[in-house]
Amino acid sequence: MSTTTKNTVFLVILVAAASSLVWRWIKPDEDAKLTTAPQSRTIWVCEGCGHWAELTARELSDARREAQLARMKTQKAQATSVRQTVLKCPKCGELQMHLGLKCTSCGKGIVGSDSDLCPDCAKAAPKGATKGRTP
């Protein structure tokens, strides 16, 4: 290889590295866009222990990252769809937290229900009172 060719290759590599560094420096941080506003809160319920938590968009992003690391550590190949998010429960440590609701009557966490009442409150409620799930 001639000296001119070596210098050209070195220059191309140097420009590519510098461009990459500049891009990382000016590119906005994706987590910085996530909000901690109360309006962004969603309810997550553990199917294992019943623990529930309200997470903001930023807390949810952190919890997803933690759950992904937990799955990689335990080598759990769970069949979850793209739309289904399962988080690690902070209380029992299991990967069983799903998007849910709070019972409008007693405040207990509910997962996978078409009602806004937990099964116990739904039994005690008048017929038809469990319809109309609220987000």
The answer to whether residues 38 and 23 belong to one domain is: no
Phi, psi of 21 (to 5 degrees): -65, -45
DSSP for the chain reads --HHHHHHHHHHHHHHHHHHHHHHHHSPPHHHHS---GGG-EEEEETTT--EEEE-HHHHHHHHHHHHHHHHHHT------SS---B--TTT--S-EEE-EE-TTT--EE-S-SSSS-HHHHHHSPTTTT-S---
The answer to whether residues 63 and 85 belong to one domain is: yes
**Would residue 131 count as lying in a domain?**
no
The answer to whether residues 18 and 63 belong to one domain is: no
Domain enclosing residue 5, as ranges:
1-31
**Would residue 25 count as lying in a domain?**
yes
The answer to whether residues 26 and 40 belong to one domain is: no
Condensed to tens digits (0 to 9), the pLDDT of residues 63-114 reads: 888 888 877 776 655 555 445 678 889 899 888 888 888 888 888 888 876 7
Q: Specify whether the CB–CB gap between 103 and 123 falls below 8 A.
A: no
The answer to whether residues 46 and 95 belong to one domain is: yes
- Of these ranges, 24-28, 46-50, 81-85, the one predicted with the greatest mean pLDDT is 46-50
The answer to whether residues 38 and 81 belong to one domain is: yes
Q: Specify whether the CB–CB gap between 123 and 111 falls below 8 A.
A: no
The answer to whether residues 47 and 94 belong to one domain is: yes
Other Cβ atoms closer than 10 A to 43:
17
The answer to whether residues 44 and 84 belong to one domain is: yes
The answer to whether residues 16 and 42 belong to one domain is: no
pLDDT of residue 75: 61
The answer to whether residues 60 and 76 belong to one domain is: yes
